[in-house]
Amino acid sequence: MNKHRLFWGFYLTALSMTLVAVMAAAAHFFRVMDDRALQEARRELTVRAELTRRLLPSDIFERPAEAQAVCEDVARVANVRLTVMDGAGHVLADTERDPAAMENHATRPEMAAALAGRTGEVTRDSATVRARTMYVAVPVFRGGAVAGVVRAAVAVPVLEQMAGALRHRVWVAAILILLAVSLASYVAARRVSRPVEVLRYVAEAYGNGDFAVRAPSSRWVELAELAGSLNQMAERLQDRIATVTRQRNELETVLAGMVEGVVAFDAQGSLTRINKAAARLFELDEARDRDRNLYEVIHDPDIQAMMASVLENGGAAVVEVEYGVDRGRWLKVRGAPLTDATGIRIGAVLVAEDCTQSRRLDNMRRDFVANASHELKTPIAAIQGAVESLQDWALGDPGQERQFVDMAARQVDRLVNLAGDLLKLSSVEHDIESRQIVLETVDLMDLLRGVAESLRVPAAERRVELRVSCPDSLRVEANVSLLEQAVANLLDNAIKYSEPGRSVSVGAGVTADAVEISVRDQGCGIEPQHLDRLFERFYRVDPARSREAGGTGLGLSIVKHIALAHGGSVAVSSVPGEGSIFTIRLPKPGA
């Protein structure tokens, strides 16, 4: 369908209607004018013929010359052709031809009518003037009878020439009317179309999201009402869009702040939305993966089957899977249908929770319980054996009594140490979780010297030399008692696992981003396969030697948690047969 501008439609319609009206009026006017002109011409000819008849003398038929003179005088003034004929049809006078040379006119229609006593009127071609001519003939009565005829004639081209002049004036008037109407139509079209164009501009602005524009009022009631409706619509749309935008921002904030991954699919299973957590868990990118199918973005068959069931049948479902290329991440995935305001299912949403840490903690908890039970079971069994031996047969034997009592005492000490380390580890974990660790500025040289001094006796017993090295001005933000405990555990282990005559050194220094406290021994070293698990609870490289040395298997785990409590870390490097280096890294003051 062809489209046209309102201005041209209005303008050309008005102009066309005016043109048709003017043309129709002109045609009607010309037709009426022609009829009136003919009637006027007949009337004038009749008047001229009557005037001539009255001017003719009564004996005019006996004096044709005088009749000729009268006709010429009248014709000169009236500009018509006059002809006088007697009752027999002979031409007595004529202003255009010699009467003597003219044939009898009795048979001419107008003459025949006049000879019959009537006024004859006819328009026909004239053989005399060789043009179409209008004739009016009136009878001349003498003694109550028709004695002759006076005829007045005028050529039709003369009438048409007169009418042409009038038509020219009419056409000039029509053109002037068309010009005036064209100008008036142009002005009216502009006055009507311009407000519409303004409303169109306003509507386009609304379509482009600019609701600050307002439609101006108009003098036309309909356009003014339309402008008011547009302005009300803009205000309502602006309010609704602001509400939707606010709700969307709130939703985006909620989704972005969620630790759970959220993935939305439409009814066909194509991805429509994800949050940052989901992008991280499933290694997705919203710009890249939008509109991709469920089976293309989720690479686990259990999750795929669950979401396919939710999309097809509705209802919620939960599955727990090991996800990822290395299968090292556990996810708890919930699927639920998405519905619109009318309750019709429009898709499904997937909510994934990374439960790797909780599973790891559960495993650690189970391992801890098993290890703690094992560690407790051994000394308790030994104490029970000693007590039963004393009860059954060793009482009264001083040598046996001492042996079993000493064994029970050693196991009691082992239980005490184990309980103490468990309490220390629990206390550190509690302080980390509750963030109750109080930090203060600590002089590392004083702290290291104090710890070394407290272990001089066991070091001397094993003939191990302790060495301390630290810049005098080195400071660190730390909890004194916890840091002393960590350094003491490392030094104690180094002393226990060092051969007699060797040395153990403890020192501190500064790197680009941390303060490091290192404990170096010259013991047997640690095989590489043990290094990654060395700081786990109850993990021992050599369980027999560890128990012999009186270790609980919790010392290094306590060191690790103390370092974490300070926002730092712990590391170990070791060469079998040469010794080990344990390093505690703490944040630099002010970092």
Q: Do residues 307 and 267 share a domain?
A: yes
Measured CA to CA, the distance from residue 140 to residue 146 in angstroms comes to: 6
Question: What per-residue confidence (pLDDT) applies to 135?
Answer: 87
Element (H, E) at 317: strand 317-323
Alpha helices in 298-397 (DSSP H): 301-313, 356-389
Assigned domain for 390 exists: yes
pLDDT in tens, 91-107: 888 888 888 888 888 88
CATH number at residue 346: 3.30.450.20
Residue with tokens 């949050």: 275
Does residue 135 contact residue 153 with C-beta atoms inside 8 Å? yes
Does residue 484 contact residue 445 with C-beta atoms inside 8 Å? no
Q: Which amino acid appears at position 341 of this protein?
A: A
Measured CA to CA, the distance from residue 474 to residue 140 in angstroms comes to: 157
Alpha helices in 208-328 (DSSP H): 221-257, 276-282, 286-289, 294-297, 301-313
Whether the pTM exceeds 0.75: the reply is: no
**Of the residues 121, 141, 162, the one at which a domain ends:** 162
Per-residue pLDDT of the chain (591 residues; tens, 9 = 90+): 455 565 666 666 767 777 777 777 777 776 776 667 677 778 888 888 888 888 887 777 777 788 888 888 888 888 888 888 888 888 888 888 888 888 888 888 888 888 888 888 888 776 665 667 888 899 988 877 888 898 998 877 655 555 666 667 777 777 787 787 777 777 776 777 677 777 777 777 777 777 777 777 777 677 777 778 878 887 888 888 888 878 777 777 777 777 788 889 998 989 988 888 888 888 888 788 888 888 888 888 888 898 899 888 888 898 888 876 555 678 888 999 988 878 888 899 999 888 777 776 666 565 555 555 555 555 666 666 666 666 565 555 666 666 666 666 666 665 665 565 556 656 666 565 555 667 888 888 989 988 888 888 888 888 888 899 988 888 888 888 888 888 888 888 888 888 888 889 999 888 888 889 999 988 888 888 777 777 776 666 655 444 444 455 677 878 888 888 888 888 888 888 888 899 999 988 765
Query: How many domains does the chain divide into?
Result: 4
Residue 505 β-bridge partners: 467, 520
Q: Do residues 333 and 403 share a domain?
A: no
3 state DSSP class of 503: strand
Domain that holds residue 419: 360-431
Q: Do residues 575 and 460 share a domain?
A: yes
Count of other CB atoms within 10 angstroms of residue 179: 10
Q: Do residues 469 and 537 share a domain?
A: yes
Question: What per-residue confidence (pLDDT) applies to 361?
Answer: 62
Q: Do residues 571 and 450 share a domain?
A: yes
**Coarse DSSP helix, strand, coil percentages of the chain, rounded to the nearest 5 percent:** 55, 20, 25
Based on DSSP, count helices (H) and strands (E) in the chain, helices before strands: 17, 17
Q: Which residues contact 497 (CB under 8 A, 6 or more apart)?
A: 521, 523, 524, 545, 549
CATH number at residue 516: 3.30.565.10
Q: Do residues 348 and 319 share a domain?
A: yes
Assigned domain for 55 exists: yes
Question: What per-residue confidence (pLDDT) applies to 348?
Answer: 92
Assigned domain for 245 exists: no
Does residue 143 contact residue 87 with C-beta atoms inside 8 Å? no
Angle, alpha carbons 310-316-320 (nearest 5°): 95
Pairing of the two strands 131-142 and 120-126: antiparallel
DSSP assignment, residue 235? H
Q: Do residues 554 and 422 share a domain?
A: no
3 state DSSP class of 534: coil
Q: Which parts of 463-558 are beta strand (E)?
A: 465-469, 475-478, 503-510, 514-520
Length of the chain: 591
Q: Do residues 447 and 583 share a domain?
A: yes
DSSP characters over 266-285: ETTSBEEEE-HHHHHHHT--
Residue 270 β-bridge partners: 293
Assigned domain for 23 exists: no
Q: Which amino acid appears at position 563 of this protein?
A: A
Does residue 508 contact residue 475 with C-beta atoms inside 8 Å? no
pLDDT in tens, 124-163: 776 665 667 888 899 988 877 888 898 998 877 655 555 6
Measured CA to CA, the distance from residue 559 to residue 445 in angstroms comes to: 19
Across 471-480, b (16+ Cβ under 10 Å) vs e yields: eeebebbbbb
Assigned domain for 131 exists: yes
Measured CA to CA, the distance from residue 76 to residue 233 in angstroms comes to: 84
Q: Which of 1, 7, 2 is nearest to 200 (CA)?
A: 7
Backbone angles phi, psi at 212, to 5 degrees: -80, -20
3 state DSSP class of 335: strand
Q: Which amino acid appears at position 286 of this protein?
A: E
**Of the residues 321, 353, 385, the one at which a domain ends:** 353
Residue 558 β-bridge partners: none
Q: Which of 400, 388, 34, 18 is nearest to 185 (CA)?
A: 18
Question: What per-residue confidence (pLDDT) applies to 363?
Answer: 60
**Residue 491 corresponds to which tokens in the numbers above?**
């030094």
Measured CA to CA, the distance from residue 474 to residue 508 in angstroms comes to: 8
Half-sphere exposure of 231 (CA within 13 A, CB side): 11
Q: Which of 120, 121, 123, 139 is nearest to 131 (CA)?
A: 123
Count of other CB atoms within 10 angstroms of residue 482: 23
3 state DSSP class of 181: helix
Does residue 102 contact residue 93 with C-beta atoms inside 8 Å? no
CATH number at residue 365: 1.10.287.130
Question: What per-residue confidence (pLDDT) applies to 544?
Answer: 45
Measured CA to CA, the distance from residue 268 to residue 277 in angstroms comes to: 23
Q: Do residues 307 and 420 share a domain?
A: no
Q: How far is CA 386 from the centre of its chain?
A: 81
Measured CA to CA, the distance from residue 252 to residue 268 in angstroms comes to: 24
Q: Do residues 348 and 465 share a domain?
A: no
Assigned domain for 399 exists: yes
**Of the residues 411, 431, 451, the one at which a domain ends:** 431
Measured CA to CA, the distance from residue 458 to residue 464 in angstroms comes to: 9
Measured CA to CA, the distance from residue 293 to residue 295 in angstroms comes to: 5
Q: Do residues 299 and 382 share a domain?
A: no
pLDDT in tens, 44-100: 888 888 888 888 877 777 777 888 888 888 888 888 888 888 888 888 888 888 888
Q: Do residues 370 and 282 share a domain?
A: no
Measured CA to CA, the distance from residue 37 to residue 49 in angstroms comes to: 18
Count of other CB atoms within 10 angstroms of residue 577: 9
DSSP characters over 108-159: SHHHHHHHTTS-EEEEEEETTTTEEEEEEEEEEEETTEEEEEEEEEEEHHHH
